[in-house]
Chain A
Amino acid sequence: MVRAYLLLAWTWLRASAQYPLSLTLLTLGSFAINGLDIAAIWVIFAHTTALAGFTLPEVMFLYGTAGLSFALADLLFGNVDRLSQHIRAGTFDVMLIRPVSPFVQMAADRFGVHRLGRITQAAAVLVIALTQLTPPASRAWMIPVMILCGTAIFTAVFALGGALQFLLTDAPEVANAFTYGGSQLTQYPLSVYGEQLVRGVTFILPLAFVNWQPALYVLDRDDPLGLPGWVRFASPVAAVVLGGVAALAWRAGLRRYQSTGH
């Protein structure tokens, strides 16, 4: 699987390298567009010193970790949300005649480094936040763990969104609500949202484990919703469970695949 992914990604990378100007512009464009997100956060803090009790560096920390997780998942697997396009164009049938998982083929399809723009932007925000927060090493170890788990959780959300498109081939946007919506949601402290929503993203679609719960540990903050302390360490569990659910959903979707034009 990994080998096939790397082969396909490398082939696409070489193909895209034939258009260096387009590659540069796409990368810069992605960097700039995502830069607007952080500009919005700075605008908010021009009017206030705290957002739901969180300071600017803390919010930037949340933004950076969520952004980096999402950007990594998007770079590696984000393409699976194009399933309905592939189904309608008939290219999904072609993927099914190859001795490689269609999930891997779709993920690596048109792999492009232009998505590095988003990763660079999120990493830059995270670095700026960390220079101001300087969490002790006894808590900072959680940062790579949370980014890894966050990437896994977003990947699972992408896969779930893809699986959903086996049923809703005509409405891929429904899946986007969860993938891109989830990314937007986790950019802010979850305590700015209503309690019901926070419960939903903790216990149903576990986006709270992308950055919110582990960040409470890194930042040494109490949970505004009063969940027990061990929940902060549950990100790997959430990632594994959601990954399992996504894998099952994908398989079920593939079994129900109807192709086009009988």
Chain B
Amino acid sequence: MIEAEGLGRTFKVRRTVVHAVKDLSFSVEAGEFVGCLGPNGAGKSTTIKMLTGILAPTAGRIQVAGLDPARRRKALARRIGVVFGQRTTLWWDLPLRDSFELIRLLYKVDRVRFAERLAEMCAILDLGGFLRTPVRQLSLGQRMRGDLAAALLHDPDLLVLDEPTIGLDVVSKAGVREFLLRMNAERGTTVLLTTHDLGDIEKLCRRVLLIDHGRLAFDGSVAGLRALVPGETSIEEVVTRLYLSSTPAGSPRIRPLPPADDRPSGTA
């Protein structure tokens, strides 16, 4: 589903070149549920933006659903769903129902399929109560449920979420998590999410990618991640230690990669 090889992205900030992502290689198979961890500024969002075709990479090669994202952005858009936790992809002043209808038309989703899909989303995400409310008047939890539905109305193969649980209360968070697990299990939708919430990682992700200073520092299971810091069982503590041990400049010190048999089945 995703193939990244030597992926890199630099930004020019006042004449100095910043390497946001450097020599990043990984692949994700169809049906996986992958979480992407990393300190602020590690390059997670940049990676997401390159996966979705928002940013063109400055080095390396990337394929998502068999397409080069930056060059085939519009074709890719029909195959993937994207959710940004920090901002909505819905139309601020339109009622949720109108946003959905517009998505149906823009993605050219068949009317009957759309009605089925929407009914299903309304049932799982409990959208019925605020379908006629303009998006700007929704609570964060309601908006996130609306965003999730919007990202899945065209039945994408891959769902990419950038911090989907940010700012949500425990109940809303649990709802979002349950929904994502269900979509992954029932529809086989591949899910890739970034998060700072370790609960997301523990409860959802069969596989973790740890990105540090724009490079891949770890790729394996949650158990494998724990094993990086011997004698520590709390995932919070493990990740804190890993983040603190990363050097401010140069290559990451978070090492080594776990042996292949430590990875969850079907991901190697």
The answer on A and B forming one complex is: yes
Interface residues, chain A, CB within 8 Å of chain B?
4, 7-8, 11, 14-15, 89-91, 93-94, 96-101, 255, 257-259, 261-262
Is A258 a contact partner of B11 (Cβ separation < 8 A)? yes
Contact, CB under 8 Å: A98 / B11: no
Chain A residues whose CB sits within 8 angstroms of the CB of B46 once the complex forms: 262
Complex Cα–Cα for A98 and B105 (A): 11
Task: Tell me whether B102 and A7 are in contact (CB under 8 A).
Answer: yes
Interface string of B74-106 (1 = CB under 8 A from A): 110110101010111101011000100010011
20 contacts between A and B (CB under 8 A): A4-B106, A7-B106, A8-B102, A11-B91, A11-B98, A14-B98, A90-B84, A90-B87, A93-B49, A94-B87, A96-B53, A98-B77, A99-B75, A99-B77, A99-B78, A99-B107, A100-B106, A101-B74, A259-B54, A262-B9
Name the residue of chain A whose CB is nearest to the CB of B107: A99
B148: Cβ under 8 A from any A Cβ: no
Tell me whether B107 and A11 are in contact (CB under 8 A).
no
Partner of A262, one of B43, B75, B89, B107: B43
Whole-angstrom distance from the CB of A205 to the nearest CB of chain B?
28
Residue of A nearest to B99 (CB): A11
B20 at the A interface (CB under 8 A):
yes
Known contacts A11-B98, A97-B89, A257-B55, then 19 further A-B pairs from the complex at CB < 8 Å, ordered by chain A residue: A7-B106, A14-B98, A15-B93, A15-B98, A90-B86, A93-B49, A93-B54, A93-B84, A93-B87, A94-B84, A96-B52, A96-B54, A97-B82, A99-B75, A100-B106, A258-B55, A262-B9, A262-B11, A262-B41
Set of chain B residues within 8 Å of A89, measured between Cβ atoms: 87
User: Which of B70, B74, B84 lies in contact with A100, CB distance below 8 A?
Assistant: B74
Complex CA–CA separation, A98 to B82 (angstroms): 9
CA distance A213 to B77 in the complex (A): 44
CB proximity of A170 to chain B, nearest CB, Å: 12
Q: Knowing A97-B77, A262-B46 are in contact, say whether A255-B56 is a contact too (CB < 8 A).
A: yes
CB–CB A97/B107 < 8 A: no
The CA of A97 and the CA of B80, in the complex, are separated in Å by: 9
Closest A residue, CB atoms, query B70:
A255
Interchain nearest-CB distance for A94 vs B (Å): 5
Nearest CB on A from B113, distance (A): 16
| Contacting residues of chain B (127-178) with chain A, CB-CB under 8 angstroms | none
Whether the pair A97, B11 counts as a contact (CB closer than 8 A) is no
Of all chain B residues, which has the CB nearest A94?
Answer: B89
B73 located at the interface, meaning its Cβ lies under 8 Å from any Cβ of chain A in the complex:
yes
Residues of B contacting A11 in the complex (Cβ-Cβ under 8 angstroms): 91, 94, 98, 102
Contacts of A90 in B (CB 8 A): 84, 86-87
Rounded to whole Å, the gap between the CB of A26 and the closest CB of chain B is 15
Residue among A90, A93, A259 facing the most chain B CB atoms (10 A cut-off):
A93
B25 is an interface residue with CB less than 8 A from chain A: no
